Amino acid sequence: ERKKLGKLKKTPAVTRDGTPIMLLANIELPDDCPAAMEAGAMGVGLFRSEFLFMGRTGYLNKLPSEDEQFESYRKAVMAMKGRPVTIRTLDIGADKPLDAAEQTSLNPALGLRAIRFCLAEPQMFLAQLRAILRASAYGPIKLLIPMLAHAFEIDQSLAMIEQAKNQLRDAGKKFDPLIQVGAMIEIPAAALTLPMFVKRMDFLSIGTNDLIQYTLAIDRADHEVAHLYNPLHPAVLYLLSSTIAIGAKAGIPVSVCGEMAGDIKLTRLLLGMGLREFSMHPTQLLAVKHEILNSDLMLIAPHMKKILRTMEPAMIMSAVEQLRAD
């Protein structure tokens, strides 16, 4: 089976009816890039940069320096040989603590995590932005901002990116001045106020792991409620499909980079919602490609209204299973 899938490495991901699909890899460190290339990824859809910051002792003074980060981002972009690398700015907190001892928040998932943390530590954030920008002189890089919910967070993030660019200009350092900036859609409030994001951003990436957590109020790391963590809950499907549809209507690229994108049981459901960009762990990539090669959008389309209109879990389940039968 693995051997058969291996043959698909160079096969373009296209549905049976000829629609091209972009398959990208999620990585944690630059050393994951060879595996992404080996799996035939068209690029990196999510570089979780927090992994450069984790597992270090001490606190802010022990974070990777701008130069150290620059080397890591440059290494990733070089390893991808001209394929785009989407670097997500530090998404620290909750399930990814910077330093366990520092986590004082009662509800860390609802606390000062990700972009909230970065906006509260502007010097650290600027250093990361400069490092990413400097690496963009070596190949195509996109910037992705996690956990946005408020317009002012988007505006402050964009202002800080401009500030980092100006600092680099003053220092005579090269970068891509037209670097694209995107938002993670992973808080329900963001999905429900999408025009605010579409107006300000170049692209969107749906983080279903957190979107499910926050929509259903289920801690994604708590085993006691794991049975309630359901990607097929109608509320989750509504937020997903409306985000994909609004993005498409506005003509801005939308990807899914949460675990749902790598689940072959859900590939056709996502295709039916209009998703054309999937980013996943490299080990899932060829199996998802196999599913796409055997999928026909014409056969999926007639089932979608039923799936997205019903609130009955059993009906959703059986309809999603039915999608795979064709």
DSSP for 295-321, written as a single string? --HHHHHHHHHHHHH---HHHHHHHHH
Interface region with ligand PEP, contact rule CB under 6 A, candidates 71-79, 149-157, 208-216, 292-300: 208-216
Q: Interaction with ligand PEP in 252-291: which residues (CB under 6 A)?
A: 257-258
Closest distance of CB 4 from ligand PEP, Å? 29
> By C-beta, is 129 or 206 nearer to Mg ion?
206
Is 224 among the annotated ligand-binding positions? no
> Which residues, including other chains, have CB under 8 Å from residue 280's CB and lie 6 or more apart?
23, 24, 25, 26, 45, 257, 259, 261, 262, 288
Annotate 136-156 with b (16+ C-beta within 10 A) or e (fewer): bebbbbbbbbbbbbeeebbeb
Q: Which does 153 bind (CB under 5 to 8 A by kind): Mg ion, ligand PEP, none?
A: none
Binds ligand PEP (CB under 6 A): choice among 209, 230, 242, 310: 209
Determine the residue type at 107: N
Nearest to 75, CA basis, from 29, 116, 130: 29
Check whether 210 is labelled as a binding-site residue.
Answer: yes
Q: How far is the CB of 128 from ligand PEP (least distance, A)?
A: 16
Binder of residue 45, out of Mg ion, ligand PEP, none (CB less than 5 to 8 A by kind): none
Position 74 contacts ligand PEP (CB under 6 A):
no
Q: What values do phi and psi take at 88, rounded to 5?
A: -85, 130
- Candidates 191-199, 206-214, 224-232, 292-300: pick the segment binding ligand PEP (CB under 6 A): 206-214
155: its two tokens:
């505006």
Residues 6 or more apart whose Cβ sits within 8 Å of residue 93 = 103, 105, 108, 109, 111, 112, 113, 114, 116, 117
**Pure H helices in 201-296:** 208-216, 234-250, 267-273, 285-293
Q: Residue count at the site for ligand PEP (CB under 6 A)? A: 10
CB of 186: closest distance to ligand PEP in angstroms? 5
Based on the shown chain and the rule CB under 6 A, indicate whether residue 210 belongs to the binding site for ligand PEP: yes
> Taking CB under 5 A as the rule, does residue 210 contact Mg ion?
yes
DSSP state of 65: P
Closer residue to ligand PEP in complex, CB, 78/253: 253
Q: Which stretch binds ligand PEP (CB under 6 A): 79-87, 152-160, 203-211, 234-242?
A: 203-211
The answer for residues whose C-beta is within 8 angstroms of residue 325's C-beta and 6 or more apart is none
Given candidates 37, 48, 77, 320, which one binds ligand PEP under the rule CB under 6 A? 48
Q: Which residues are catalytic?
A: 257
Least Å from the CB of residue 142 to ligand PEP: 15
Q: Which does 219 bind (CB under 5 to 8 A by kind): Mg ion, ligand PEP, none?
A: none
Taking residue 302's Cβ as centre, other Cβ atoms within 10 Å add up to: 10
- Residue numbering of the annotated binding site for Mg(2+): 186, 210
Site residues (CB under 6 A) for ligand PEP?
A: 46, 48, 91, 186, 207-210, 257-258
- Residue numbering of the annotated binding site for phosphoenolpyruvate: 48, 88, 209-210, 220
Site residues (CB under 5 A) for Mg ion?
A: 186, 207, 210
